Amino acid sequence: MEQITYRTKGNANNVGDKQFGAGKFKVVPVGKRFAVEPLQAETAPPTVWPFPVVKAEQLSAPVPAWPWPKAEQFAQPVAKAARVVREERNGAKRPIKGVCAELWAHYDTLAQATIEAVKAHVEANPHLNLTNAKLEFYAWRKFNAPLPA
C-alpha cells in the first residue's frame, strides 16, 4: 500500500484528527513531506515503586514542624552600589567611562581644540570612529562653553 504524504505538518495533523481521532496518531516526516501513522497500543508494565516505604517514626532525624522557616529569614541584605552622579553643564552631561570619556579626556588636554585636531587624533588612533569623535567634540564644546551673561 502506498503511503499518502502531505505538504505541511498542519495538513497532516488535520487528516490524522479526522482518520484516527485527536491524539491517536503521529506525524512522521517523509523527505520534505509528512505522513500520518496510527499509534500502536503499547502495553506498559505496571508501575512499581522501586524504593521501600519508610514511615516518619523510622527516621533518625526529627521531621521539622510546620511552618518551615521562610527564605527571607536567611537572606543577606545586599548593599546597593553607589550611584555616580554625572556632571552636567549647559545641558550636556560629561561621560564617565568608555570611548566617549576617553575622547573628552583628550579634548581637555588640547590647548586649541579644533575639528582638525579631532580628525588628526582619530587618524592616529584607528580604534576611534570619526563621526563619534565629532559628535563628542561638539558635546564637549557645549559642555565647556562659557555661561551666558
In this prediction, residue 140 carries a pLDDT of 93
Can you say whether the dihedral through the CA atoms of 129, 130, 135, 139 is positive or negative? positive
Half-sphere exposure of 70 (CA within 13 A, CB side): 2
pLDDT, position 52 = 74
Structure confidence by residue, pLDDT tens digits, 72-83: 666 677 778 788
Which pLDDT score, from 0 to 100, does residue 3 have? 80
Question: What is the reported pLDDT for 66?
Answer: 66
Predicted confidence (pLDDT) per residue in 106-131, tens digit? 999 988 889 999 999 999 999 999 99
Residue-wise pLDDT tens digits, 15-55: 888 888 888 888 999 999 999 988 876 555 666 667 777 77
- Could you state, in order of their start, the residue ranges of all structural domains in the chain? 9-38, 88-143
Tracing cell 512499581 back to the chain, one arrives at 48
Whole-number pLDDT of residue 24: 86
Band of the pLDDT at 101, cuts 50, 70, 90?
very high
Residue 43: the pLDDT is 57
Its pTM surpasses 0.85: no
- Give the three cell numbers for residue 50: 522501586
Contact of 35 with 9, CB cutoff 8 Å: no
